[in-house]
Structure 1
Amino acid sequence: MIKVKDLHKSFSGEEILKGLNTSFHAGKTNLIIGQSGAGKTVFLKCLLGLFEPTSGSIEYNKVAYASLNNKQKRDLRKEMGMVFQGSALFDSMNVAENVMFPLIMFTKQSKAAMKKRVDEVLERVDLIGVDHKSPAEISGGMQKRVAIARAIVNKPKYLFCDEPNSGLDPKTAILIDNLIQEITREYNITTVINTHDMNSVLEIGENIVFLKDGHLEWQGNKDEIYQSENDALTNFVYSSELFQKVRKAQLQGL
């Protein structure tokens, strides 16, 4: 679990995050949504420890990040997995080498043990038989699954995903959403997803944090979106063509 208390972040006197209070729970897909400039990326980087908050605190399983020494912060980062927007695979490495990279960096396992773990996670994301291929030899959807395998290979407690469906067709995006949700539940990971994809919101939004101008404007789940009377959320969501289609189908079914 991650708990955020009165989080502020400023750059050169400009306040980007303005007193956020929220929680992200283990075993659930926690989504951060909002318009461009709402503060989503800055918030995600604060959660990752890449940005130091101007004030406020972030707690990981009831331990404040600011209270940790440098070694403890490095140890915490070892418990974090990250799926980047563009997958961020190393072109000079094959699939297996990409997935093994965190194990080489952060563990002292034997080569045999690392290979076994790589095989396990590749099987989990349904990528058996592509371990010797380069990223350029596989599809965008497969590259994303490699990125997910790499993110979970070190058995993280926390999984962060930045626009995981970027560049994917709708069908593949749904498969990636479902895979992330399944892994989150299976391993009881605290998963935080920064997304603009309303399909993800409506499919796997178990805990949704909606930011507007650096404030926490609304929080709830995918079902509560339809009952929300928050004008900012309604305007944001209804701007989505997908939401309009879903809502129309629901009304026709009444």
Structure 2
Amino acid sequence: MIEVKDLHKGFGDVQVLKGISTSFEPGKTSLIIGQSGSGKTVFLKSLIGLHTPEKGTISFDGRINTQFTTEEKRQWRQEIGMVFQGSALFDSQTVEENVMFPLKMFTKQVEEEMLERVNFVLKRVNLENSNHKFPAELSGGMQKRVAIARAIVMNPKYLFCDEPNSGLDPNTAILIDELIQEITQEYKITTVINTHDMNSVMQIGQKIVFLKNGVKAWEGTSQEIFKTDNEAVVKFVYSSELFKKVRKAYLNETK
């Protein structure tokens, strides 16, 4: 579990995060949503340790990350998987080499052990027999699956995804959402996803945190977001006519 308490972070005179408190549970897909400039990216970077908060704490299973020793921080880094926007694969490396990269960096496994693990996660993301292909030979969706395989190759306790559906067609985006949710539940990972994709919110939003101007303006599930009367959430989520109709139909069904 990740627990965030009274998190503040600013840059110069600009205060970006203004006292955010929330928590993320294992085995659930938690989504961070909000308009551009709401603080989502700074919040995610704070969770993975790229930003140090000025006030407040972030705890990983009861351990406050800013209090880690050097060895504890090294161990914590190995417990984190990250799926970057745009996949961030190494173009000059094969699929196998990309996925094996964290194992080479953080473990002392022999080549045979690493290859066995790489093949296991590639099979899990439905990319068997793609070991020797290069990223340029893959579709956008396949690249995202390679990125997910690399993120889970170390068997992480915590998985962070930054706009995992960016640049994907709607059908492929749904498949990526389903894959992330399946892996989260299967391995009891604490998964946090930054997204603008409202389809993701409705499909896999087991917990949704809505940020506005650096504060947590609302949180709940994908079912609860249909019923909320929070004006900012309604305006953000139901800006399209399609989602307005979906919400209206849902509310009529639950009357």
Q: TM-score, normalised by structure 2?
A: 0.97
- Equivalent residue letter for 1:140: G
Q: Distance in 2 between matches of 1:167 and 1:69?
A: 39
| Count of residues paired in the alignment | 254
How far residue 246 of structure 1 moved from its aligned partner, in angstroms, is 2.3
**2:167 alignment counterpart:** 167
Is the contact made by 2:87 and 2:147 (CA closer than 8 Å) also made in structure 1?
Answer: yes
Stretch moving more, 242-251 or 71-80: 242-251
Unaligned runs of 5+ in 2: none
Task: String of CA shifts for 1:157-202, please: whole Å, max 9, x gaps.
Answer: 0000000000000000000000000000000000000000000000
How far residue 71 of structure 1 moved from its aligned partner, in angstroms, is 2.1
Q: Distance in 2 between matches of 1:22 and 1:192?
A: 12
The change in CA–CA distance for 1:138 and 1:49 in structure 2 (over 3 A counts) is same
**1:64 alignment counterpart:** 64
SS at match of 1:16: strand
- Equivalent positions of 1:6-17 (< 5 A) are 6-17=6-17
- Equivalent positions of 1:138-217 (< 5 A) are 138-217=138-217
Is the contact made by 2:226 and 2:250 (CA closer than 8 Å) also made in structure 1?
Answer: no
The change in CA–CA distance for 1:191 and 1:41 in structure 2 (over 3 A counts) is same
**2:40 alignment counterpart:** 40
How far residue 135 of structure 1 moved from its aligned partner, in angstroms, is 0.3
**2:25 alignment counterpart:** 25
How far residue 242 of structure 1 moved from its aligned partner, in angstroms, is 4.3
How far residue 130 of structure 1 moved from its aligned partner, in angstroms, is 1.0
Q: Distance in 2 between matches of 1:138 and 1:229?
A: 43
The change in CA–CA distance for 1:240 and 1:54 in structure 2 (over 3 A counts) is farther
Q: Does 1:93 align with 2:93?
A: yes
Is the contact made by 1:198 and 1:242 (CA closer than 8 Å) also made in structure 2?
Answer: no
The change in CA–CA distance for 1:101 and 1:242 in structure 2 (over 3 A counts) is farther
Q: Distance in 2 between matches of 1:158 and 1:87?
A: 18
Q: TM-score, normalised by structure 1?
A: 0.97
- Equivalent residue letter for 2:222: K
- Equivalent residue letter for 2:223: D
SS at match of 1:4: strand
- Off by >6 Å, runs of 4+ in structure 1: 251-254
Q: Distance in 1 between matches of 2:171 and 2:240?
A: 17
Is the contact made by 1:82 and 1:160 (CA closer than 8 Å) also made in structure 2?
Answer: yes
Stretch moving more, 60-69 or 144-153: 60-69
Is the contact made by 1:4 and 1:21 (CA closer than 8 Å) also made in structure 2?
Answer: yes
Is the contact made by 2:227 and 2:251 (CA closer than 8 Å) also made in structure 1?
Answer: no
Q: Distance in 1 between matches of 2:248 and 2:19?
A: 36
Task: String of CA shifts for 1:95-152, please: whole Å, max 9, x gaps.
Answer: 0110000000000001000000000000000001111000000100000000000000
How far residue 48 of structure 1 moved from its aligned partner, in angstroms, is 0.3
Is the contact made by 1:199 and 1:242 (CA closer than 8 Å) also made in structure 2?
Answer: no
**1:53 alignment counterpart:** 53
SS at match of 1:223: helix
How far residue 39 of structure 1 moved from its aligned partner, in angstroms, is 0.1
**2:4 alignment counterpart:** 4
SS at match of 1:53: coil
- Aligned-pair identity in percent equals 65
The change in CA–CA distance for 1:234 and 1:68 in structure 2 (over 3 A counts) is same
- Equivalent residue letter for 1:192: V
Q: Distance in 2 between matches of 1:249 and 1:226?
A: 10
How far residue 19 of structure 1 moved from its aligned partner, in angstroms, is 0.2
Q: Distance in 2 between matches of 1:240 and 1:211?
A: 19
The change in CA–CA distance for 1:125 and 1:164 in structure 2 (over 3 A counts) is same
Q: Does 1:218 align with 2:190?
A: no
